[in-house]
Amino acid sequence: MEFINSIKAFEQAKKSIPGGVNSPVRSFNSVGSNPVFIKKAFGSHIEDIDGNDYIDYVGSWGPMILGHAHPDVIKAVQDTAINGTSYGAPTEIETEMAELIKSMMPSVEVVRMVNSGTEATMSALRLARGYTGRRFIIKFEGCYHGHGDSFLINAGSGALTMGVPNSPGVTEGTANDTLLAKFNDLESVKSLFKKYGDQIAGLIIEPVTGNMGVVVPTRDFIQGVRDVCTQYGALLIFDEVMTGFRLAKGGAQEILGITPDITTMGKIIGGGLPVGAYGGKREIMEKVAPAGPVYQAGTLSGNPLAMAAGLTTLKLLNDTPDFYNILEAKAEKLVSGLQKAIDELEFPAVINRIGSMFTLFFTDDDKVESFEDVKRCNTELFAKFFDKSLQAGIYLAPSQFEAGFMSIAHTEADIDKTIEASRKAIEELKAEL
């Protein structure tokens, strides 16, 4: 494959955009190669500006569950745009969207639309603090909730100390209000509650992680987190920006059978346009302005175009018989094919999959169940696998610490080709080990 035009485009972009991209992971820095610039996409495929075609398992980082440029979504956007693109005033489609979200995710009794997952999670934190009158938020090492200051935090010196900034520009004061726990380690949560319990406003978690790669919670862990939040009166915030409407109609909370107090959403509910949302119990959400005192606002929140794309997407997910079983079967076919290659070639790797989300971890361990496990992965080996896959026309997330996404548009031929290309890449890597 040739990447001449993408290489030129990246050099040009770097003159005017920080790092040449509008979101860091797109730079391919984690895999040490030049990013490909995309010209167009349809269904399960994307095409770069050099004319290279790829089977796409990034799907815009989750939103494209129906595949790219779904005709119904495109038509909804076109039909809406001819009547204007934004009014900054209430529209009935926003109410229709809210009602559909509520019907698909019953823990959400009232929901506010925003413009990104970051806005949703930032707002959820402010709401938790405003509702409880408390200071601290617990998050988990390895979980990502967008770029809000309260989330860009590393663990402090001791397990029970407050966080420290992990980005310039985040103040000590902000960092000190975030406490760090360990995913799948209930004791790390309980010890924070024992020490700070009545000062903890909320705990935010990716109920199934995607941002350290896919890691599934143990039953005892996620139930224990729910129970300890209830015990201390802290709000449990499920960050379902990635898992919402992805893992099931009702997201991870439906699969796990856990009811959070607040849920944050994004990605799929925008159908590819900028949308986020946060919602939950009426008693909590009615603290949000103008119903209540917790301020949050947005010029383009609930704008008609994004609502049209998102509502059309959610309706298709909600109304297509057996959608999630069909989607999961595609993911299972891919992963079992990859697993067969790993087993037969005796290659050091572990695959985690739940629903249509999966991650191939390059590790000597026989399981990946925690951030500690994830940190032992061989990112150099991943980078080589990524590059071989890209050359073979398979577009994976350019980082070991991300999730892959199957769409309903991926065909049997796509999956067979992916398995074949991956087996070949693994064979070549095995020879280099």
Min dist CB 227 to ligand KE4, Å, is 23
The residue (of 31 and 421) whose beta carbon lies closer to ligand KE4 is 31
User: Should residue 210 be labelled a site residue for ligand KE4 when binding is judged by CB under 6 A?
Assistant: yes
The residue (of 239 and 328) whose beta carbon lies closer to ligand KE4 is 239
Residues 231-270, one symbol each (x = binds ligand KE4 by CB under 6 A, - = not), give --------x-xx-----------------------x----
Asked if 367 and 374 count as a contact pair (C-beta separation under 8 A), the reply is: no
User: Should residue 144 be labelled a site residue for ligand KE4 when binding is judged by CB under 6 A?
Assistant: yes
Asked if 137 and 128 count as a contact pair (C-beta separation under 8 A), the reply is: yes
290: cis peptide before it, omega within 30°? yes
Strand partners, 213: 211
User: Should residue 61 be labelled a site residue for ligand KE4 when binding is judged by CB under 6 A?
Assistant: yes
Catalytic residue among 267, 330, 384, 388: 267
Min dist CB 209 to ligand KE4, Å, is 8
Asked about 40 being catalytic, the answer comes back as: no
Region from 82-90, 115-123, 158-166, 187-195 binding ligand KE4, contact rule CB under 6 A? 115-123
The residue (of 136 and 278) whose beta carbon lies closer to ligand KE4 is 278
Asked about 239 being catalytic, the answer comes back as: yes
The residue (of 25 and 160) whose beta carbon lies closer to ligand KE4 is 25
Number of separate helices (H) and strands (E) present in the chain: 14, 16
CA distance 273 to 266: 10
CA distance 169 to 158: 23
Contact pick of 146, 207, 213, 251 for ligand KE4 (by CB under 6 A): 146
Q: What is the DSSP string of 285-311?
A: HTTBTTTSSB----TTTT-HHHHHHHH
In Å, what is the CA distance from 112 to each residue of 87, 97, 116, 124, 259?
Answer: 17, 10, 12, 10, 18
Contact pick of 52, 107, 118, 312 for ligand KE4 (by CB under 6 A): 118
CA distance 104 to 317: 10
User: Should residue 30 be labelled a site residue for ligand KE4 when binding is judged by CB under 6 A?
Assistant: no
Region from 143-151, 223-231, 352-360, 362-370 binding ligand KE4, contact rule CB under 6 A? 143-151
Beta strands 153-154; 357-361: pairing state: unpaired
The residue (of 210 and 348) whose beta carbon lies closer to ligand KE4 is 210
Min dist CB 142 to ligand KE4, Å, is 11
Q: Taking Cα atoms as reference points, which of 269, 299, 303, 296 lies closest to residue 119?
A: 296
Min dist CB 183 to ligand KE4, Å, is 13
Min dist CB 427 to ligand KE4, Å, is 29
User: Should residue 177 be labelled a site residue for ligand KE4 when binding is judged by CB under 6 A?
Assistant: no
CA distance 22 to 290: 32
Catalytic residue among 185, 239, 373, 414: 239
Contact pick of 44, 107, 121, 418 for ligand KE4 (by CB under 6 A): 121
Question: In the structure encoding, which two tokens stand for residue 179, read together?
Answer: 């406490």
For residue 81, the tally of other CB atoms under 10 A from its CB is: 12
The residue (of 369 and 402) whose beta carbon lies closer to ligand KE4 is 402
Question: In the structure encoding, which two tokens stand for residue 209, read together?
Answer: 């992680």
User: Should residue 63 be labelled a site residue for ligand KE4 when binding is judged by CB under 6 A?
Assistant: no
Min dist CB 143 to ligand KE4, Å, is 7
User: Should residue 300 be labelled a site residue for ligand KE4 when binding is judged by CB under 6 A?
Assistant: no
Region from 4-12, 113-121, 172-180, 362-370 binding ligand KE4, contact rule CB under 6 A? 113-121
Q: Taking Cα atoms as reference points, which of 386, 385, 408 lies closest to residue 397?
A: 386
Q: What is the DSSP string of 330-364?
A: HHHHHHHHHHHHHHHTT-S-EEEEETTEEEEE--S
Q: What is the DSSP string of 204-235?
A: EE-SSBSBTB-BPPPHHHHHHHHHHHHHHTPE
Asked about 319 being catalytic, the answer comes back as: no
For ligand KE4, which residue has the nearest CB? Answer: 117
The residue (of 56 and 239) whose beta carbon lies closer to ligand KE4 is 239
The residue (of 221 and 238) whose beta carbon lies closer to ligand KE4 is 238
3-class secondary structure, 168: coil
Residues labelled as active-site residues: 144, 239, 267
Binding site for ligand KE4 (CB under 6 A): 23, 25, 61, 116-118, 121, 144-146, 206, 210-211, 239, 241-242, 266, 276, 402
